[in-house]
Structure formats: C-alpha cells, structure tokens
Structure 1
Amino acid sequence: MPDIELRPWSNDDLALLHRANTHELMDQLGGPENDEQVLARHERYLRLQREGTAHQFRIVVPGHPEGVGIVGYWQHDWHGEPALEAGWSVEAEYRGQSIAPAAVIAMLDAARAAGEVLPVHAYPRVDNPPSNAVCRKAGFRLLGEEAFEVRPGLVLHTNDWVVDLAPPPRP
C-alpha cells in the first residue's frame, strides 16, 4: 500500500475541490460545477463536519501536502435503514498507484475509530471499472446493481457495494 495520510477537511481545501472539479472526476455527479457551486460544496463539507454528519478528508501523499484527492463518508438512508455512504476521487496524475484503495481503507479505519458501526455503502457506476476495483480492494462486498439518484433528477446505473464497520457478534 502507498504511504498516504488523511487530513480532515479544512478551510484550506477549497483549492483541492477546484482541482477535483473536472469532467472526468465529476462525471459521477453529473459534470463539473460552477465556481459558486464549488464554494457551496466546500462550505457544506465544513458545516457537515462541524455537525458530525459527514467526514471529508484530504488525501495526502509524500511531497504533496496540498492533497491529491478527496475521500469521505456521510449519513445515508439505505432502503429505509440508517447507513453511511462513501465517496472518493483521486487526481488523474496520481491514479494507478493504489492511492484510492489505501485512502478508502484509511477512511474506514477512521470511521471505526470514531465509533461508527453502520454499514458503509458505495455506488460506483457499473461502467466504472476503476472505482468498482477500489471497492473490491477496500473490502466491500457487492450487493448488486441499483438505480441510484445522486441528486434530484439524476439517476445513475450503479453497483451497490457495502462494508460492515461493526465487529462481528461474539459467539
């Protein structure tokens, strides 16, 4: 696994969010946002972090303290049940180095350390082999395909992956 560190989202991470606002990285969410939308998302990340309902992290690798990607989790409703949802993105020039799986594993460890026990779901599009591979490498199990509404009016054909944070019951 590569040497990565996760740093909680801060005021300093707006530039990282702007760098992640590309067609390639925002394709899963319906395309790039305008500057006002990027700023609103940054402020939402900070607010939800303060409220404790979402946790976004800057992915740091040696020599790049400004970050090379984003990973996080937030509260989610899964078919009427409380759950968490995870998402991530890594800048194009840092892909193929196992940074995303390492960051997702570190994020799951951080969630466990924070006392989270709800299942964590991820919804990569079925036609996104790299993100589906991240789920496999990070220990998620595939539940099946699902029509997933990423925002009102935008429904994608995704895979539903899940990982359990709660320890298994003791015999």
Structure 2
Amino acid sequence: MTDVELHPWSRSDLDLLRRANTPELMDQLGGVETDEQVIARHERYLRLHADGTGQQFRITIPGHPEGVGIVGYWQHDVDGEPALEAGWSVEAEYRGRGIAPAAVLAMLDQARAAGETLPVHAYPRVDNPASNAVCRKAGFTLLREADFEVTPGNTLHTNDWVVELAPATA
C-alpha cells in the first residue's frame, strides 16, 4: 500500500488547489477555472466540514507535506435519495504510484470514522481509464453509465460507481 496521509482542508491549501487547476485535471470537471472560481471552490471546501456536509483533504506522501493531491466527499442526491459524492485528483508527476487509490481508501475510512453511512458515488468520465481504475481498486461497484451535470450546463458522460459505507445488515 502506498504511504499516504490525509489532512483536513485548511486555509493554507489554496496553493494546492491552484496547482490542480490545470487543463489536464480540470478537463474532467469542465475546464480550467479563473482564479476567482478557484478561491470560491477553496471557500466551499473549507465550509464542507464546518457545515457537516462533507470533508476535503490534502493528500501528502513522505517528503511532500505541501500535498500532492486532493480527495474528499460531500453530500449529493442520487435519483432523489441522499448519498455522498467523492472526488480526487493527484498532480501529474505523482501519478502511477498508487497514491489515488490509497487516498480514496483512506478517505472512505475517514468518512466512516466521522459517522457517515450513506453510499458514496464517484463519477469519472467513461473515457478516463485512470479514475475508473481508482474506483475499482478502492472497492467501488460500477452501477451504470450516466450523463452527469458537473456544473450548470456542463454535462459529461460518466460511469456511476458506488461503495457502501454502512456495514451490510443481515
């Protein structure tokens, strides 16, 4: 298992979010954001925990306390039912080392420890083999393909993956 640590999102993580605002990473979310949009997203990430609606984390590995990526979850509705949505990104130079799957597994453990019991969905584009592999490696089950609106007016063709946080009941 790759050695990752998760740190709750903090004011000092804005630079990490700016570094993630690349065409390659943001293509999965509809495109690069303006600096004002990045700052607004940073503020939303800070409010998630305070509002009790989710949690974002800075992903660190040994020797890189500044962070090499982002992972988190937030409240989301699926077909009118309450659920959580997960998302992540790892900076290009750190990909291929198992960081994303390890971070997603650690994030799911953090969600369970925080008392979350709702199913967690992830929506990587169908043409994103790396993120779909992260879902498989982190124990998600593929439900279906779906058109998913990531921002108003911006719909992507995605896979809908889910993992249960609550233990199965007999």
Determine the structure 2 residue equivalent to 1:154. 154
Name the CA distance, whole Å, in 2 between partners of 1:41 and 1:151.
12
User: How well do the aligned residues superpose, as a CA RMSD in angstroms?
Assistant: 0.6
Equivalent-residue separation in structure 2 for 1:26 and 1:52 (angstroms): 26
Aligned residue number for residue 129 of structure 1:
129
Matches within 5 A, 1:1-171: 1-170=1-170
- The runs of at least 4 aligned residues of structure 1 exceeding 2 Å deviation read none
Amino acid at match of 1:120: V
Deviation at 1:48, TM superposition (A): 2.0
Normalized against structure 2, the TM-score is what? 0.99
Stretch of structure 1 that moved more, 108-117 or 42-51: 42-51
1:36 deviates by 0.8
Could you say what secondary structure the match of 1:97 adopts?
A: coil
For this pair of structures, how many residues does the alignment match?
A: 170
Write the deviation string for residues 113-171 of structure 1: whole angstroms up to 9, x where unpaired. 1110000000000000000000000000000100111111011000000000000113x
SS in 1 for 2:117: coil
Q: Gaps spanning 5+ residues in structure 1: where? A: none
Structure 2: stretches of 5+ with no match in the other structure: none
Q: Percent identity?
A: 78
